[in-house]
Structure 1
């Protein structure tokens, strides 16, 4: 029986369920932010935007404003976005936890 590896995350994720919009070179789609951490987002798309791994994206939401990142993975209607690290990004994520959580 093969040994399954356990992936340890550097930052804890919080399950969420609020709407936002993701835009990339291939198009844009509204959808649901399924989980959120200081390092990334799991976003469930309403429409396919032909996002590819490594592609830059922007994310807008009333809960945290405007963030940018890179597509880390893409599976069906969900994409994983690694957020661009900056003090502004950290402040926006902290603000979400403070006011919306």
Structure 2
């Protein structure tokens, strides 16, 4: 088995089904948020996003607003993004968990 050098989040993840977009420079792609924690998010992207690890991106979703983060990994059409500690992203996610989140279980496992 290959080591992908993926650094995992320490914060508790909550599964969800939120649709939105990721913006990188002048590119925008549709995404589905697979899981969310107070420190980051895992996304499934619909089309390739040509951005390297360490790139700064925006995640825009109706339920969450605009979140700012840094790509930490990319593999098989999925992205791992750590929220920018200098933004309000963590507070926005905490508010989402407090008022809107409904627990979702994945239908299929990869």
Report the TM range for the smaller structure's normalisation.
Answer: 0.7 to 0.9
State whether residues 34 and 42 of structure 1, in contact with CA within 8 Å, keep that contact through their aligned partners in structure 2. yes
Unaligned runs of 5+ in 2: 1-6, 102-110
Measured in 2, the distance between the counterparts of 1:33 and 1:47 equals 14
- Structure holding more strand per residue: 1
Deviation (angstroms), 1:87: 6.7
Residue 36 of structure 1 is matched in structure 2 by 36
1:65 aligned onto 2:61: no
Q: How many residue pairs are counted as aligned between the two chains?
A: 95
CA RMSD after TM alignment: 1.8
Cα distance, 1:47–1:85 mapped onto 2, change above 3 Å: same
Q: Give the alignment's TM-score, normalised by structure 2.
A: 0.78
Equivalent in the alignment of 1:76: 76
* CA distance in structure 2 between the aligned counterparts of 1:60 and 1:83, rounded to whole angstroms: 13
- Point out where structure 1 has 5 or more consecutive residues left out of the alignment: 1-6
Aligned to 2:4: none
Deviation >6 Å, runs of 4+: none
Counterpart CA distance in 2 for 1:83 and 1:13 is 14
Q: Distance in 2 between matches of 1:88 and 1:66?
A: 9
Given the superposition, is the C-alpha separation of residues 62 and 75 from structure 1 closer, same or farther in structure 2, using an over 3 Å criterion? same
